Amino acid sequence: MVRTPIPYLGKIRFYWCDQCKVPLIDKNCNICQNEGSQVNISPPGDIRPALKGDLDFIASAVEKQYGSRVKIKFTQLIKNQIIFLNKIPYIDRMDEIIIQGRVLAVFRYNLIKESFEILPKITLASFLWEPESKGWINVDQGAKTPILNGASVLRPGVNFADKEISYDDPVIVICGEEVIAVGLAKMTGIEMMSREKGVAVKTKYKKKGKLDQLAPLELSWEKILKANEHSLNKKESTAINFIEDASTGFQNKVIAYSGGKDSLVTLNLVAQSDITYDIIFSDTKLEFPETISNIKKISQVYQRPVHQFKNIRWDFWERFDKFGPPTRNTRWCCKSAKLLPVNEILESLYPDEKKVLTFIGRRRYESFGRSREPLISQNPWIPKQITAAPIHNWNAFEIYLYLYKYKLFSLLNPLYESGFIRIGCWVCPASSMADFHIMKTTHPDLIQKLFSNLHMIKNREKFPIEFISWGLWRWKNIPQKVKNFLNYQKIEYTGQFLNQKDGDHLRFILTSYPSPCVEGGFSTFISSNQMFELKYLEHLLPILGNVNYNEELDIISIYLEKNVRVDIFSDGSVILKGNTLESINEAIDPVIRTIYRKICCDGCGICLHHCNEHALYLESESIQVNMETCIKCLQCNKFCPLIRYQADSDFLSSIPNS
C-alpha cells in the first residue's frame, strides 16, 4: 500500500462504552454514567457510520475474496447493528472498519484492479475463515514462529495455496487450523505451489496473544443517541450560540446550502436559532441530478425559496476543451462555476449591502486546508461574503447523530446511501477514483461523458491508459506519493502536455534580460507562442496605463508609471523600455498577466465583483474596461481565476524576477 503522512486536523473523539456496548462522541456514557475507552483509530479521525452503499461494497469484497459462505458469516455479524468507517490517508479511498468498538479491517479501492477490497485484521480473519473459503494459504509449523515475529511468508513454507489468488490479493495465512497472519500476495496461488523460492505473501498483520471473540450484537441509533444525549446537546447549544453571536451587526444572513450532509446540519442549526435567514445554492451545472432534487425538497420542507443564479454564459465543457481537465493544483472551474453564482446571488438579493453573513458547512476534519480556516472569515473571492462555520469542530459521526436526532435522514442526499462520501460537482478532480467507479453503476451517462473527453486528451498526448483509469488527469503537478506509485508500477508519466495546439496554452519566453539601450535606459524583449489581435487586446490594456494603438504600424504602446513604455506587436512580441532595471522588472509581471487574462478570458465575471470603481464589464463574453472610471489599481488581476490557476503554473515561472 502507498501511504501518506498522517494529518492531525483536530482532537480525535471516538469512544466505546464496554458496559452498554455503544459508541460515544465524548468520554462519558449518558446511559450508565461510566467512562468509555478511546477507540484506537488513525488520524484525522473523521469517523462516520457505514451506510447501505458502503455495506454493500464491503460485503461484495468479502464474497469476491473469500467466497459466499464467508459473506453470509460477515453479514450475520453486522446484522442489526451499526458499523463505522474511518477514512485514512492513501493514494485513493481507504477506510478502517470499526465493529463493536474495534478496528477489525481496512477497506480500500485498489487502483490497479479498479475494485474494492478488504484486508481483515486477525480477529476478523479468524472469525470469518473456514476450510471451504477462498483466499487463504496454509504454511508448515516451521514457518509459524518467523511469521509471528513479522517475517514474510516464503515460498518453501507454503503447503497449500488457493489457486485463484492473484498478485497483490489480500491473503489469510493459516497454520494447521489457526489464523496466524494476513497479508498481500506477492505471487499468484499457482506460483506459490510451483516456484522453488521467493516471497509468497508480505504480511501486514500477525497474531498477538489471545484473540477477542466476535459475536452478533444489536445496536440502534436510538441507543446511540441516548448514550450521547448530553454531549450532543452541548455541541448543539454551542453551535446555536455561535450562530446568534456571529449574526450581531449583520442585517442579512444566508445559508450556503450545497446538498450535502454538513450544509443540511448547518441549515437546521440556523433554523433552530432566533435569526432570520435566506437559503442560497450555487448551481455549477455539474451537480448530480439527486442534488438538484434535494434542493427542491429542502425548499418545500423549510418553506422558503432556495435562491440560485442561472448561468447562461459559462460552459464547463467548452473550457475543458480549451484548458484541459481541471486538476487539484489548478481548479480553474471552481472560481467560475461555484463562486461566480454566489457573487451574482448576493448582488441580486442585497444590492445595497456591503457585507452579508453566510453560514457554511465547513468542518476541520475534512482537509488540512479547512482545519486552518478560522470560524469567521472574509471570502477573498466574494467581496460581500463573510463566512461563518458553526460546525467547524464537528466530526462526521456527530453530524450523523444530529441528523438522526432531528429525523433529517429523509432529507439526506440519497447519494450517500449509494456509497459516496462527498457530494459536489460530479466531475471534481478532488474526487477519488472510488467515486468514479461507483458512478459507472449509478450515473453511467455522466461518467461516459467525462471519460470520452479524457480519451481525446489521452490519445492526442499519447498518455498511458492510467491517465484515465488511475485518474492521473486530476494532477497538474504530480505529488510525490503518486510518483512513487508510478515508479513502483514502472509507468512513465510526467503530466506534461506536449502536443497542445498552438495557442491552447499561451506561453511567454523572456528572450533577453533587461539590458542597457543605445538610446539610454534599459530594455527587455519577450515573445509569446502565438500572434496577437491587437484591436482585441486594446479593450483591457488601459488598466496598465495610457494606451496608444497605431493601426498603420500595428503596434500598441502603453505608457506606465516610472517612465516605462511597453510596445506590443501583432507577431506576439513585447518590448519593455525604462530608465531603471527596477522599473523594467516590476512592469513585466502585470503586463504579461494582463495580456494573458484578455486573450484567455472565458467571461466568468469574477473580476467584476472586485472592482470598487465598477470600471469592468463584459461584452461578447470577454472582459472590457471603462477608461473613464478605471484608476489602474490592478486589483482585478489578482482575482482572475485564469491567472491564479493557469498562468502562475504555466509561464510566469519562466520570467525572472516576476
Let me know whether 80 and 190 are in one domain: yes
On whether residue 501 sits in a domain, the answer given is: no
Domain final residue, candidates 172, 206, 240: 206
CATH code where residue 139 lies: 3.10.400.20
Supply the pLDDT for residue 380. Answer: 78
CA distances from 467 to 428, 453, 482, 495, 593 (A): 15, 12, 12, 9, 30
Let me know whether 57 and 133 are in one domain: yes
Report d(CA 231, CA 252) in Å as an integer.
Answer: 31
CATH code where residue 615 lies: 3.30.310.10
Give the domain extent around 561.
508-654
On whether residue 93 sits in a domain, the answer given is: yes
On whether residue 340 sits in a domain, the answer given is: yes
Instruction: Say which amino acid occupies 47.
Output: I
On whether residue 146 sits in a domain, the answer given is: yes
Q: Evaluate the CA torsion angle 467, 469, 473, 478 in order and state its sign.
A: negative
On whether residue 499 sits in a domain, the answer given is: no
Supply the pLDDT for residue 312. Answer: 63
Supply the pLDDT for residue 319. Answer: 77
Q: Evaluate the CA torsion angle 221, 222, 228, 233 in order and state its sign.
A: positive
CA distances from 281 to 258, 284, 413, 443 (A): 6, 9, 15, 22
Let me know whether 202 and 233 are in one domain: no
Supply the pLDDT for residue 211. Answer: 82
Neighbours of 550 (CB within 10 A): 11
pTM for the structure as a whole? 0.85
Let me know whether 176 and 262 are in one domain: no
Domain final residue, candidates 418, 436, 457: 418
On whether residue 458 sits in a domain, the answer given is: no
Domain count of the fold of the chain: 3
Let me know whether 198 and 232 are in one domain: no
Let me know whether 316 and 186 are in one domain: no
Let me know whether 239 and 202 are in one domain: no
Which mean pLDDT values do the consecutive 10-residue runs of the chain (658 residues) have?
A: 54 94 96 95 94 97 97 95 94 96 97 95 96 96 95 96 95 96 96 95 93 88 97 97 96 96 98 97 92 97 92 75 79 75 89 94 84 85 92 96 97 97 92 96 97 92 92 86 85 71 62 66 83 86 89 85 88 87 88 87 81 85 86 87 61 46
Domain final residue, candidates 378, 401, 418: 418
Report d(CA 295, CA 256) in Å as an integer.
Answer: 12
Q: 108: which strand partners?
A: 94, 117
On whether residue 479 sits in a domain, the answer given is: no
Let me know whether 188 and 64 are in one domain: yes
Let me know whether 345 and 409 are in one domain: yes
Report d(CA 430, CA 434) in Å as an integer.
Answer: 11
- Continuous segment of H or E residues that includes residue 9: none
Let me know whether 201 and 167 are in one domain: yes
CA distances from 358 to 195, 251, 277, 404, 418 (A): 65, 12, 9, 25, 30
CATH code where residue 401 lies: 3.40.50.620
Pairing type for strands 84-87 and 94-99 reads antiparallel
CB 280 within 8 A of CB 256: yes
- Continuous segment of H or E residues that includes residue 292: helix 289-301
Let me know whether 176 and 299 are in one domain: no
Supply the pLDDT for residue 519. Answer: 63
Reduced 3-state DSSP string for 228-252: CHHHHHHHHHHHHHHHHHHCCCCCC
Neighbours of 41 (CB within 10 A): 19
Supply the pLDDT for residue 642. Answer: 74
On whether residue 589 sits in a domain, the answer given is: yes
Let me know whether 283 and 176 are in one domain: no
- Locate 653 and state its grid cell: 515561472
